[in-house]
């Protein structure tokens, strides 16, 4: 699904994607929700929020894989 994206990446965009990280506030909120999930104390709204953060992280991870592959391909060329 994301392979066509790899062909469209430029070197600068790919490098930026590889370096992209959640900001401290988002990471702190994720950690808080993850702890509450482990403790079994999440509300329904917090569960939805945690699931959204997990989905966003999964998408970002997939984009980073494609960006790294693009950069490796460029290095080999």
Note the pLDDT tens digit of each residue in 25-40: 999 999 999 999 999 9
* Averaged confidence pLDDT in the chain: 91
Higher pLDDT, 53 or 6: 53
Query: Domain total for the chain?
Result: 1
**Please, are residues 49 and 33 in contact by the beta-carbon 8 Å criterion?**
yes
Q: Comparing C-alpha atoms, which of 33, 29, 55, 30 is closest to residue 42?
A: 33
Percent of all residues in the chain with a pLDDT value above 70, rounded to a whole number = 91
* pTM of the shown model: 0.81
CA 69 to CA 49: how far, in whole Å? 30
CA 31 to CA 6: how far, in whole Å? 31
Q: How confident is the model at residue 11 (pLDDT cuts 50, 70, 90)?
A: confident
């Amino acid at each position: 699904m994301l392979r066509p994206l790899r062909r469209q990446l430029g070197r600068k965009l790919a490098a930026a994607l590889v370096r992209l990280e959640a900001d401290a506030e988002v990471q702190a909120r994720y950690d808080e929700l993850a702890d509450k999930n482990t403790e079994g104390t999440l509300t329904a709204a917090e569960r939805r929020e945690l699931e959204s953060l997990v989905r966003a992280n999964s998408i970002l991870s997939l984009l980073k894989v494609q960006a790294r592959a693009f950069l490796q391909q460029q290095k080999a060329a």
